Amino acid sequence: MPASILSLARVRAGLGMPLSDAALEELVFLSKAEWEGRDGDDLRISVTPDRLDLLSEAGLALHLAGAIGIAEGLPRPRERPAGDSARCAVDPSVGGRRPAFAAVTVEAPDEAGLDDATLAEAIRFQELLHATVGRDRRVASLGIYPLDRIEFPLRYALEPIEAVRFVPLDGTEEIAASRFYAEHPMALRYGGLGRDGGAVLTLRDARGSVLSLPPVLNARGAGEARPGDRRLLLESTGLSARAVREALGLLEVVFVGRGWSVGPVATIGSDDVGGAALYRPRTVDLPADLLGAIAGEALPASEVAHRLAAVRLGGHPHPHGWSVEVPPWRPDLQTAVDLAEDVVLAGGIRPESGQLPPSRSRGHRLPEGRFRARVRRRLLGMGLAQPYTPLLVGEATARLAGAEEAIRLQNPVSAEFAVLRDRLLLSHLEVLQGNTRHPYPQRFGEVGPVLRRSPAAESGAETRYHAALVLAEEGAGFADGAARAELLLRSFDVGFVREPTTLPATIPGRAAVCRVAGEPVAEVAEIHPEVLVALGVPVPVTWAELDLTALWALGGRRDTH
């Protein structure tokens, strides 16, 4: 789950009333966030990936204010016209590299302008959005600029690298972009995202001043927001209009939550991302019959209106339901089902609220469940530690494992949770990578679900259960994994044959498949050294994985005690 450290004092200041730690922890628990602990003023909090707005002090304060009833409904920032010159020309040259661009202006509510704490919050939240929505800046990145040191109109373009010179944000002298890309740590990490051969992405103002080299680093001066600045420019560049819009909308909550006004910046030549639509609420319809079906009861109209106001949404009734206004920092609310979930959660979920549905497993485990539990105990009896791993794995891991058939999410919140594993091996490679500082040998095994493509399934995929074991130690070889896999297969009282095969990410000639009645039920192999080097694992690794769903159908039904 995405996590961050917030200032507890700033959260309380945003509420405008004192609340004890216990009361705050309870309110956080009833949202899609978890209070992970407190150290002085540092509040450690984690959220579900769809509520990133709660990882800013302003966003969390807005939510909590609605939960305790001191504020309700949609926060509506004041709009300030930015003038006809407030526009950015998006040059066609960026189309093949990073085509989407969007920007808004924000203005402080008083003469004091930007304070240190709000600037620190904005920068911290900006980097968190880079890592999540932005997929480490690849899909979208953000910039914050001092509007009073910028002259409109802006120009976003791809320029020859030899024509670009600027002062990096952390520098003191002007340098050539070629030197910056060759030497600067940020350029070494993100430079490939903003460079196309001998050309680099630039954002300049009307005077030709470089604001930034997207998505790498801002420039000093025109690209450096400082305490005391009263007006700021917030911009985002990226691969798609949707990603740019979501990232910018989330960043806005830091300022809107503190009473800042907003204004539009017109974009010329971009994918229709710009203007007031970036900060004005959008409307999603919530049918009354769908809400009743999800809530399990017909809710009175007054109760629905109260709950929508409590979660800081604008609800307007119509004959068949509600038209709901959604702020730009809630990109998770796209459909009526999303809205219904928020309405149900706003009413509080308690044990006494539940209804026991009809189920063939009521009061006891299903036979398949008892079968998997027995396999789990056998792995434990082999001296294997039992990790818990999620169904989602990182895109980098999937590529490393050669999982070409694994299902990819179309719009993942993070590259670390972008692929649905089709083997437990993918998760176990991540376990190995995350434990390289621990001593060897490392031996672990797990029973868990995987998702395989299936044209016959309604969704195009089916859930299957696998058991896998990994041995990482000096001298670990194919025979070690094969012996344990065959021991498990014999315990199911089924006849099997072992055949050599070729498997991705494994050593040729040291991989095999086991079949029962012609059906593949297990794979055994040694992991390829190139994979181990990429993971940072210094010892040989052997792996075995059994398809428990297939084994259950072929003979596991006898093994349920």
Please report the pLDDT score of residue 503 as a whole number. Answer: 95
Please report the pLDDT score of residue 146 as a whole number. Answer: 96
Whole-angstrom distance, CA of residue 296 vs CA of residue 302:
17
**DSSP letter (8 states) at residue 147:** G
Least confidently predicted of 279-293, 320-334, 484-498, 537-551: 484-498
Mean pLDDT, to the nearest integer, of 116-139?
94
Please report the pLDDT score of residue 359 as a whole number. Answer: 63
Q: Which of 506, 536, 501 is nearest to 401 (CA)?
A: 506
Q: Which of 206, 223, 80, 250 is nearest to 145 (CA)?
A: 223
Mean pLDDT, to the nearest integer, of 379-402?
93
Give the residue with greater pLDDT, 71 vs 546: 546
Q: Which of 473, 451, 452, 438 is nearest to 543 (CA)?
A: 473
In the chain, helix, strand, coil percent, each to 5?
35, 30, 35
For residue 272, give Cα distances in angstroms to 275, 276, 367, 483.
Answer: 9, 12, 55, 60
Please report the pLDDT score of residue 424 as a whole number. Answer: 96
Predicted TM-score (pTM) of the model is 0.66
For 320-364, write each residue's pLDDT tens digit.
999 999 999 999 999 999 999 999 988 876 555 556 566 655 566
Strands 217-218 and 231-238: unpaired
Q: Which domains does the chain carry?
A: 3-67 (3.30.56.10), 87-278 (3.50.40.10), 282-348 (3.30.56.10), 367-390+421-558 (3.30.930.10)
For 133-152, write each residue's pLDDT tens digit.
999 999 999 999 999 999 99
Residues 6+ apart with CB under 8 A from 132: 2, 49, 52, 413, 414
Please list, residue by residue across 134-147, b when 16 or more beta carbons sit within 10 angstroms of its beta carbon and e when fewer do: bbbbbbbbbbbbbb
Other Cβ atoms closer than 10 A to 557: 13
Average pLDDT, the chain: 91
